[in-house]
Structures are given as structure tokens and as C-alpha cells.
Chain A
Amino acid sequence: MSLLRVRDFSAGYETDLPIVKHVDMDISQGEAVCILGPNGAGKSTLIKAIAGQVRCLGGSVYLADDDITHAPSHALARRGLGFVPQTENIFTQMTIRENMQIAAELLPKARRAGQMQRLFDMFPDLKARPNTLAGALSGGQRQMLAAARALLTEPEVLILDEPSAGLSPKLVGQVFETLRQIRAAGVTLVLVEQNVRAALDLTERALVLVDGRLAHDGPTGALRDGKLLGELFLGSRHAEEEV
């Protein structure tokens, strides 16, 4: 069942300068998909535009049957789309608990306490010191908090922008382990990543963006040896491959 449907989607910061060009994307419930591509390809811009942070210049985005193309950014969390930006993804001047409370307030009152408890159980590091300022957390812990906050509202789709960015290999491992758990809980995952190895291990399908356009869409198996990916990144292959 198609959960996130993107059609002929263009986006960018200025009306006459699209960064994302006519992208088509179809993500089914339960899938884990990664978006790869060289620097400047528009991967981050694509998901930021889907999340309402960058202007949509054409095309449409549907979440299940819901047209969210022009929905304001703040409405999306309530409609089931969770987004974790790459940097500045938590409020450093508020405590862990306060960061979580803001998200919890999107839920009906009866569910708030239960959800907070559930997420704290899932991330014991956060549970240990809920009244610490988020700014005092380490890089890995900040990513935990950012993910926990996004998960609080039980999104159907969770979109993450380079969750491993700036983290040491050990922490990258922890983050991806957490993503595996999230996946196991039934959340559909969309991941923009530079760390190709980790992304291909976690996901089963990969979209490759080159110069703002979709250059490839297929199972991750075909990309594992790196040869196809290299050709796509360096521009000698443009074909889209469907399963």
C-alpha cells in the first residue's frame, strides 16, 4: 500500500532556480528506503521540501490519501509525517523533558504520559537525566533525542536527514541499531545518507538523486558492490531501474 507518493516534484529556495527537478517517488508502508547521491544533488532539499521547510515549485506529495503538497510544516507532524533535520534538530536551551513535552502536546491528553514513558524506556540515556539541558548532550545523544521527539507522535513515515552526520563510527553503529528497532516497530523509514555502507545495510531499497533528478530506483542489492553507484554518481549512467 502506497504511503508516501511524490509526483513530478520540483523544489528550491528561489522560484527560478529549482534544486529538485521533477522527482517521482513511491514508498509503501513498512519499507525502509534510503536516498543517496553526490554532494549538492538535492537529497536534503527534497526531504526538506516534503517536510514543508523548502518551497515546492511544482508537482505533488501525498501521504496516504492526504494531499500534503502545500501543507504548512507544523501540520505534518499531526498528519503522520515525522521529520528529523540534520543539524539544529533539538532545542538546546530547553531540557530533554521539555523537548519531548512539546511533541507530546500534539497527542490527545490521555495518551501523552504513556507515550513519554514508552519513548523514555526506548532511550534509557534520555530517561536517566530528563531535566538536563539538551545543549549539554553529546552528539550521539542529541540524535537520540531528535529521533525520540519525532517518534513520540507515532508517525507513519519517519524521514531522517543524514542521522549519522558528524558521529564517530561507534556512534553511527548505535544510531543505526536504533533505526533498526524503529523499523522493527513498523515505522516506514526514509533516510538521506552520505554513509552509503550503513544506509545500504539498513534499507532494502535505494533512490539515487543526481543533479536534482532521480537517476535510479531499485533494490539495494544491486548497489552493494559499488560499481553501479560509482557510475551514477559520476554521471555515466542515467537509467532508472525498476524492480
Chain B
Amino acid sequence: MSPQVLIDGIIAGSTIGLGAIGLTLTYAILRFANFTHGDFLAWGAYMTLTVSGFLGGLLAGLGIGDPLGPFSFGWGLPLSLLAGMALTVLLTLGLDKVLFGRLRRRGADAIIIVMASFGASMALRSLLEFIFTANPAYFTRELQIAQKIGMGMRATPDQMLTVGLTAVLVIVLHVFVTRSSTGRAMRAVSENPGLAGVYGLDVQKVIRVTWIIGAGLACFAGVMSGLLVQIRPYMGFDLLLPLFAAAILGGIGSIPGAMLGGLIIGLAEAVTVQVVGAEWRAGVAFVVLVLVLILRPSGLFGRRV
């Protein structure tokens, strides 16, 4: 087995991990399995693509449209990403206001909210297909050459950048959740929302912050996937099972857990592609999920279920 498997696994695992962090946070604090989360990734990618389409012409006109350094993208992408993240936040907050929040206020069982998220995810995904067609799209036409990074592995500058940024994001988030007052509030609400109110915490505000963080991460992960692979309407849905598996493997509510879960699944997928064949890749996350549920349902860093 070639060592390339390691870097391939880390790259794929980073996307899964980032998406899983957003999913695990909403799962822990809003207390439902959100089937729309995958589509937040896809919508994030598409909205960023749309903005970058507008920006592209503008920036080229200003003479700053060229790719930055060794990367395949210019200033257009990071700027569009910021806009894309803002738009994804609006999407999730809007969906919560119109659908999930209403069901919550009515006292609906969590499983009904899960069902609604399933319906919303099909609608959102198909809306993307309707607007953009099922044809794959790309952020950039620039081709990248994979460079040697030692130990027989190769990676493109784009790939190395995204892995690096992921690591930074995870560290920042972990510090935020463990040390900041908002982080404490989030942990409190995830343990006991009623008691959080007694302690003086505004649970609605914590819910909003959770959606915002989840949406931002989802957009980032979507753009990452879109940049490194391609953008298609089903990109988020295809990641949904790995996202769930990673979140459950890591332990619901744990940020390091979700990231570690993502990396493990990414590596397992890379190994499977090499050893068994690419056509079985989508089944790996399921195998991991079943193993976790049999052996340790609370996950690596989770509370006892």
C-alpha cells in the first residue's frame, strides 16, 4: 500500500471533519440529527461560486484576478468565501426560523424535526439541481501539479493549504469552546438547556450562535471540497453519511472528536479505495458507524449515551 494513502486520507478527512464539527455542535445543542447539514456544504459551495463569478470579472478588471502564488485561485476565492459564509449563515438561520424553530416552539418530538430536516434536505438539494443543473462546476480552471512532500507522498499546494487551514480552524474552535464565555454557554446548553436559563443564559442566543458556527464551517468545508474535487448538487448529500459517522465516532458534542472521526473515516476510505476498489468507498462510513454503535455508542470523547 502506497504512503500516498495517508495524505489522501488526511485531505478527504479534513473536509469530513470540518463538516462533522458543525453537525456535532448542532446535534448537541439543538438536540436533533440535522439531515440538511450536508446540503449546507453544497449551498455554501454554490453560493461562493456564484459570488466569485461576479467578482471574477471585477477583479480581473482591477488587475488582481490572477492566481495567488502557488495556488490555483486568486483573491476572488477568499473574498467570495467570506460572502458565501455569510449567505450560508442566512440560509441556516432562515431555515431555523421558518421550520426547525417553529417545530421546537410547538414542542414537537425531536424525531419530527429530524423528519422535517430530511424533507428540507431533499428540497434544497433539488433546488440546487434546478438552478445550476447536475453538471459539475469548478472554482478554477487552473491545473495544479502535485508536489513531493516526503515519504513518497505528493500533494498540491491547494491541498496543503486547505489541510493547514483546517488544523488552524479546529484549534481556534477548540480554544473558543473551552475558554470563552460563549463556549461555556454552549457547553451549558448542550448539557441542560433548562438549567442554562436558570443560570441566566439566553438559550435562544446560544442556538443562533450554534447555527452561525455550523453554517460557517459547512460553507468552508463545501468550498474546500469544491476546490479540491468539484462542485455538484449531490456533493453534500454524498458526504452526509461520513459526516454523521464522524460525529458519532468522535462523540456527539466534541469538536476534537468530530475532527478525529473525520480523519479516521478519510483514512479508512483512502485505504479501501486502494485495497478494495473505489466503487466501495461510500460504504466505508457505514461500516465505521456500525462498528461504533456496536462497540462504543458514546464515541471516542462523548458522554455515555
Residue ID in chain B nearest A93 by CB atoms: B191
**How distant is the Cα of A88 from the Cα of B194 in the complex, in angstroms?**
10
Residues in A with CB closer than 8 Å to B184 are 94, 98, 101-102
State which of B181, B188, B196, B200 has its C-beta within 8 Å of the C-beta of A153. Answer: B200
Q: Which residues in window 29-57 of A have CB below 8 A to B?
A: 51-53
A88 and B195 form a contact (CB under 8 A): yes
Q: Is A140 an interface residue (CB 8 A)?
A: no
- Over the window 195-222 of chain A, the binary record of Cβ atoms lying under 8 Å from chain B Cβ atoms (1 yes, 0 no) is 0000000000000000000000000000
Please judge, given known A-B contacts A93-B187, A94-B187, A94-B188, whether A102 and B199 are in contact too, CB under 8 Å: yes
State which of A74, A88, A90, A93 has its C-beta within 8 Å of the C-beta of B201. Answer: A74
State which of A51, A83, A88, A91 has its C-beta within 8 Å of the C-beta of B188. Answer: A91
Residue ID in chain A nearest B199 by CB atoms: A102
Q: Is A89 an interface residue (CB 8 A)?
A: yes
B192 and A91 form a contact (CB under 8 A): yes
Residues in A with CB closer than 8 Å to B194 are 53, 73
Please judge, given known A-B contacts A83-B198, A93-B303, A102-B185, whether A74 and B203 are in contact too, CB under 8 Å: yes
Interface size on B, residues (CB 8 A): 18
State which of A53, A77, A91 has its C-beta within 8 Å of the C-beta of B200. Answer: A77
Q: Which of A51, A89, A105 has the most CB of B within 10 A?
A: A105
B200 and A74 form a contact (CB under 8 A): yes
Residues in B with CB closer than 8 Å to A83 are 198
Q: Which residues in window 68-114 of A have CB below 8 A to B?
A: 72-74, 76-78, 83, 85, 88-94, 98, 101-103, 105-106
- Over the window 256-294 of chain B, the binary record of Cβ atoms lying under 8 Å from chain A Cβ atoms (1 yes, 0 no) is 000000000000000000000000000000000000000
Residue ID in chain A nearest B206 by CB atoms: A74
Query: Would you list the 7 A-B pairs with minimal beta carbon distance, nearest first?
Result: A73-B197, A77-B200, A74-B197, A106-B200, A74-B202, A102-B199, A105-B181
